Amino acid sequence: MKITLDQTGKRFNYDWIFRRVNATFEAGQRYAILGPNGSGKSTLLQVISGHLLHNEGTVTYYENNSPLATDLFFHHCTIAAPYLELIEEFTLAESIDFHLQFKQFIPGITPQIAAETVGLQSSMRKQVKHFSSGMKQRLKLALAIFSDVPVLLLDEPCTNLDAAGVKLYQELITTYAKDRMIIVSSNDEQEYFMCEQRMSILDYK
């Protein structure tokens, strides 16, 4: 899997969030998109994911060196982000089962193992609306990281996590995200500790 951005820009109304982004994201590599709050790094990640359409330039996806249709990219990626909501009326078990209708977990990971790994095993029958913000974030990370896809997109992945949650996140990445492309939008080094390649959104203003 490869993703290329060529002179890519995004605006809201007449305000450009970023312009002329040229970047290539390769399979198995880890990338961080850095910048202060409100600078547009989350918007760039959403453009990369296909959740937002860009206004100039191109975003191209490749599978086995062949172009992949934009509307098929979602099969190959997962994203965890503060603005992506969970279905509050679902229990934890129902949330996982619903997710598995679209993305399978990596081999060896069952719903029970996923819940146990992120410390939510006692909440399988609890509705998500009764979860704390930290529990919801653990669930979002579990659904994203345990999905059997080659691209993992993370926007401020330690949002609402305490010190134990941050340690868990780092362990999940180290253990379960090997050989995958990872792109992290963040301004906290604890979140992009594994990223060898880093870009600043401020370079594209």
Where b means 16+ CB within 10 Å and e means fewer, 2-15 reads bbbbeebbbeeeee
What is the chain's pLDDT, residue by residue, as a tens digit (205 residues)?
999 999 999 999 999 999 999 999 999 999 999 999 999 999 999 999 999 999 999 999 999 989 999 999 999 999 999 999 999 999 999 999 999 999 999 999 999 999 999 999 999 999 999 999 999 999 999 999 999 999 999 999 999 999 999 999 999 999 999 899 999 999 999 999 999 999 999 999 9
What's the CATH code of the domain at 76? Answer: 3.40.50.300
How many domains, the chain? 1
Range(s) of the domain holding residue 11: 2-204
**Tens digit of each residue's pLDDT (9 = 90 or more) over 13-55:** 999 999 999 999 999 999 999 999 999 999 999 999 999 999 9
pTM (predicted TM-score): 0.94
CB-based contacts of 184: which residues, under 8 Å, 6+ apart? 30, 31, 32, 33, 154, 155, 157, 191, 192, 195
